[in-house]
Amino acid sequence: MRIICTHCKTSYNVNLVNIKPEGIEFKCAKCLQFFLVKPHHLQQIKPSILNNITQLRKSDMGTKTNQYSDDDNLNTLLTSVVDDLKNYGNRLNDQLSKLSDIGIALSGVTDLTILLEMIVDQAREFTNADAGTLYLREGDTLRFKIVQNNSLGIRMGGTSGQDISFPPVELKETNVSAYVAIKGTSVNIPDVYETDLFDFTGPKNFDQTSGYRSKSMLVVPMRNHENDVIGVLQLLNAQHMKTSEIIGFSKDYENLTESLASQAAVAVTNAQLIHEMGELFDSFAQVMATAIDEKSPVTGGHIRRVANMTLTFAEILSKNKDKYKDIEFNSEQMHELRIAAWMHDIGKVTTPVEIVEKAKKLQTIFDRIQYIDLRICYIIEQMEKDYLNQKIQLLEKGETTEKISALESREKAKREKLIDIRGFIKQCNNPGEFLEDEKIERLDEISKMTWKDFDGNEQPFLDDDELLNLSIRRGSITESERKKMQNHAAITLKMLKKIPFTKKLKNIPLYAGAHHEFINGGGYPLGLKGDEIPFEGKIMCVTDIAEALTASDRPYKKAMPLEVVYRILREMADKGELDKDLVEFFISEKVFNKYKEKHETNGR
């Protein structure tokens, strides 16, 4: 019998004798629209048609032409239907395959900014949506992270460089995105203008001002591995693959988008965890520096300044196109170097504070010069008592004024000598650049002088420890104290090796532990030399020394001018202690000045 397309009136001859009561839907080969054929329209059947259709389902998909009916019009119609079914199946397979590929791609991205943008890009491409928005849940609000609209050329958030100025969405069920976040269920709306389920004042106002027409909307929750909704993915205006007509989001798209959103949520959670883990290490480093800062403000300021100077040095090296053109620190390497610099002195938590802050040679918990000063004052007082007793005896005996004058002269000479010794010891207690042999010999002579205590016991003017400390030639610490101070590098290395750093941070112990190693092998704690020292360690060695020489908050020394600092750095490089090329680069590129402009604008 003949059937007619209800849309364009094209007729077809069909040979069907049986059909389900609800009828069968045909697609017109001319206008591509579907129309319904009821059982009462059919008069006879050609059994070969159904057999041919069955054979089609089993046939090779690569067959170019198939004959389903002797009637050309019917064959054209069936061919169109079959082709549509094939295309739908192929498209569904492609979407499932692409969904798998997207999941793999998302799992490999740890930068949250890039990841969020990728999720919206892939979801829009996946569903052929014109626009998309991604929100992340922050407390009781949904915050815009990505906003895209292809027709209007809008790309905000992510790597676009365009900030999103829209205020966060409050979690109220009248808002469709908030509803999805609260309930955890998807919402698929064919036309936002033809529903009163939610308040779409916002999209309608946007349409009015922009000339856009919001229609179909698919909003799905982003659930992580703990089944918590961490965000919402909103897609707008699905487009027909061929005609670009705005259509509703199919159930298939809804299911596949929910799957994509779930994968995306896990990827976002992973990225957030990795970011938080990085922040944890940063915080740990800063906490350790704070602990040292509380113990000694001197070393606390040192750590911060060395860290900032080291990063400034690395940034300048990365930009160099000459000698160091092959050196370039990427963001991950800079992050690793930053933490290493913040942690380079954490071993000082075990260094006695009286050594770290030893401003005077006799200083321990307090400055023992007070003891020696009190001792000499006591000796002078006792000597004056003896003198007065002797003078009284001479006067009682009626001795001549010559004898009394001689006694007074001797007393005056002794007193002046003790006062001179007192001043000399005070002078020696101050750390200087160098203590001469003559002064050390005089200290030794003074230590051999004796006096009697209250019980009449003979005591030396200076005990062995006092003599040892006062005889320090350079600085304020003894050799044993210096070893305790230097031991902080070994403790730093030991502590950092106990931390299970991630792969991207694995070099932190090596970098931080090498900041006192010298090129000639004379450094500590491992005595590394030459290329055994990592490049980052060589950088930190230069900045550590430069900071120590220029620091103005050391209790035992004044800040040195830059020309003196440069001279000392060059001398150390000439002796094979520092990397000569790095020292010259540090000086010629004015690294210290650039660091200070960037990080110490308020001065030290």
What DSSP letter does each residue of 252-317 carry, written as one string? HHHHHHHHHHHHHHHHHHHHHHHHHHHHHHHHHHHHHHHHHHHH-HHHHHHHHHHHHHHHHHHHHH
- The predicted structure's pLDDT at residue 75: 73
Q: How confident is the model at residue 47 (pLDDT cuts 50, 70, 90)?
A: very low
Residue 128, number of CB atoms within 10 A of its CB: 16
- The predicted structure's pLDDT at residue 53: 44
Average per-residue pLDDT for the chain: 85
Question: Is residue 364 domain-resident?
Answer: no
Residue that is last in its domain, among 239, 273, 307: 273
- When mean pLDDT is compared across 37-51, 204-218, 311-325, 441-455, the lowest value belongs to 37-51
Report whether pLDDT(552) > 80: no
**Do 491 and 466 share a structural domain?**
no
- The predicted structure's pLDDT at residue 595: 95
Q: Is the previous residue joined to 525 through a cis bond, with omega within 30 degrees of 0? A: yes
Question: Is residue 105 domain-resident?
Answer: yes
Residues 542-552: what's their mean pLDDT?
Answer: 92
pLDDT (tens digit, 9 = 90+) per residue, 282-330?
A: 887 878 877 777 777 666 588 889 999 999 999 999 999 889 999 999 9
- The predicted structure's pLDDT at residue 578: 97
Domains in the chain: how many in total? 4
CATH code at position 534: 1.10.3210.10
Phi, psi (degrees; rounded to nearest 5) at 533: -85, 125
Residues 143-148: what's their mean pLDDT?
Answer: 95
**Range of the structural domain that residue 554 is part of:** 296-356+480-599
224 or 509, which is more confident?
509
Question: Is residue 279 domain-resident?
Answer: no
**Do 225 and 352 share a structural domain?**
no
Q: How confident is the model at residue 602 (pLDDT cuts 50, 70, 90)?
A: low
**Do 537 and 585 share a structural domain?**
yes
Pairing of strands 169-170, 458-460: unpaired
Question: Is residue 363 domain-resident?
Answer: no
**Do 264 and 205 share a structural domain?**
yes
pTM comes to: 0.65
Q: Pick from 5-9, 139-143, 501-505 the range whose average pLDDT is largest.
A: 139-143
512 or 4, which is more confident?
512
- When mean pLDDT is compared across 290-304, 388-402, 444-458, the lowest value belongs to 290-304
Q: How far apart are alpha carbons 140 and 229 in whole angstroms? A: 12
Question: Is residue 451 domain-resident?
Answer: yes
Question: Is residue 90 domain-resident?
Answer: no
Report whether pLDDT(26) > 70: no
**Do 340 and 485 share a structural domain?**
yes
569 or 556, which is more confident?
569
Residue that is last in its domain, among 476, 499, 524: 476
- The predicted structure's pLDDT at residue 297: 64
- When mean pLDDT is compared across 48-57, 424-433, 504-513, 542-551, the lowest value belongs to 48-57
452 or 267, which is more confident?
452
Report whether pLDDT(603) > 50: no
Q: How far apart are alpha carbons 492 and 594 in whole angstroms? A: 29
**Do 432 and 315 share a structural domain?**
no
Residues 2-14: what's their mean pLDDT?
Answer: 66
Question: Is residue 321 domain-resident?
Answer: yes
369 or 23, which is more confident?
369
Q: How far apart are alpha carbons 100 and 122 in whole angstroms? A: 12
- The predicted structure's pLDDT at residue 10: 67
**Do 331 and 346 share a structural domain?**
yes
Q: How much of the chain, in percent, has pLDDT values that exceed 90?
A: 53
Q: Which residues, including other chains, have CB under 8 Å from residue 577's CB and lie 6 or more apart?
A: 518, 519, 520, 522, 523
- The predicted structure's pLDDT at residue 43: 43
Pairing of strands 217-223, 187-189: antiparallel
Question: Is residue 87 domain-resident?
Answer: no
Residue that is last in its domain, among 442, 476, 510: 476
* Whether 517 contacts 533, CB under 8 Å: yes
**Do 347 and 426 share a structural domain?**
no
**Do 501 and 446 share a structural domain?**
no
**Do 470 and 484 share a structural domain?**
no
**Do 197 and 253 share a structural domain?**
yes
**Do 485 and 447 share a structural domain?**
no
Q: How far apart are alpha carbons 536 and 199 in whole angstroms? A: 58
SS3 133: strand
pLDDT (tens digit, 9 = 90+) per residue, 335-348?
A: 999 999 999 988 88
Report whether pLDDT(96) > 70: no
